[in-house]
Amino acid sequence: MAFLEVHNLTKDFGGLRANNDISFSMARGELVSLIGPNGAGKTTLFNCISGLHPVTSGRVIFNGEEITKLNAHQVARRGLARTFQVYAAAGDLNVIENVMVGCFMKTHLRSRARARATEILKDLNIDHLADYLVSELPVAAQKLVTMATAIGSDPRLLMLDEVAAGLNPNEIEGILASIRHVHDDLGITVMLIEHVMELVMKISHRVIVLDYGEKIAEGDPETIAKDPGVIKAYLGERYVREHGGQQAVGSRE
């Protein structure tokens, strides 16, 4: 049985169709990337799966339970957590207090939430930032804080929305290592939206491609990097020239 199933999902905003009849599934333990041009409907799809937006039609099944009509809070309680492109820190709370917000999904006790938040910050090697305001941190550290807050809810599936956006190559490598740690060592299934193709091709088991709200391709990174439709819609000939087929794929080792 698939861990996450999306069946014929369609989302309309008035006269605009943002997602059109999208279907795919994920197995427990997979790491899947969702790519495509700006405006392709990637974040809308995340929003529909996570309960932030009601779907127009279609079904979403998570861990054997249909969650199509559940709101975001109900979905999160079932073990599906997601991050956002822009991290909205909670008021004047510092880093550990922000992570505690996620932890309160599982406990009402402040002492337990703080203890769990401390563990997560240590696990992501950012415990030295615990007393800083998130707004005081560089972008790369803010990305780790938003991941930590999501992990605080003890998710079975973590959906990451452009966690590498705006980072330099060294910072991207750090985020890549953190995602691998979350997936490989913490055992959390991961789905991510990303435009940084070097990261996508290095880390993904499978890649799903959207364009104009429709799924145009799905497969392993090597297959996607060579797909003519994906090259035309998103990757571009320059990417293919610069990375050259197999070299574009990278290694998961």
Q: pLDDT tens digits for the chain (253 residues)? A: 799 999 999 999 999 999 999 999 999 999 999 999 999 999 999 999 999 999 999 999 999 999 999 999 999 999 999 998 776 655 678 999 999 999 999 899 999 999 999 999 999 999 999 999 988 899 999 999 999 999 999 999 999 999 998 899 999 999 999 999 999 999 999 999 999 888 999 999 999 999 999 999 999 999 998 899 999 888 876 666 666 654 333 333 3
Same domain, 65 and 180: yes
Q: Report the relative pairing of strands 157-161 and 80-82 from DSSP bridges.
A: parallel
Q: By residue range, what is the domain housing residue 206?
A: 1-79+155-253
What is the spatial distance between Cα 221 and Cα 246, in angstroms, rounded to a whole number? Answer: 9
Residues 108 and 22 grouped into a single domain = no
- Same domain assignment for residues 23 and 146: no
Tokens 């996450």 correspond to what residue? 4
- Yes or no: say if 121 and 130 are a contact pair by the CB < 8 Å rule: yes
Element spanning 8, H or E: strand 4-13
Q: Give yes or no: residues 118 and 186 share one domain.
A: no
- Select from 154, 185, 213 the last residue of a domain: 154
**∠ at Cα 176 (225, 88), nearest 5°?**
110
Count: domains in the chain: 2
Same domain, 68 and 24: yes
Task: Examine the domain organization and report whether 91 and 139 are in the same domain.
Answer: yes
Q: Can you give the pLDDT at residue 244?
A: 60
- What pLDDT is stored for residue 177 in this prediction? 95
* Dihedral Cα 178, 76, 43, 146, nearest 10 deg: -40
Which of residues 133, 154, 175 is at a domain's end? 154
Residue whose C-alpha is closest to residue 225's, from 213, 207, 212, 251: 207
Same domain membership, residue 129 and residue 164: no
Question: Same domain, yes or no, for 70 and 109?
Answer: no
Q: Which residues pair with 160 in a beta bridge?
A: 192
Judge if 195 and 250 occupy the same domain.
yes
Same domain, 223 and 134: no
pLDDT of residue 1: 72
137, 154, 171 — which closes off a domain?
Answer: 154
Domain CATH for 210: 3.40.50.300
| Same domain as 208, residue 106 | no
Torsion of CA 81, 56, 165, 132, to 10 degrees: -40
Q: What is the pLDDT of residue 248?
A: 39
What pLDDT, on the 0 to 100 scale, is given for residue 237? 62
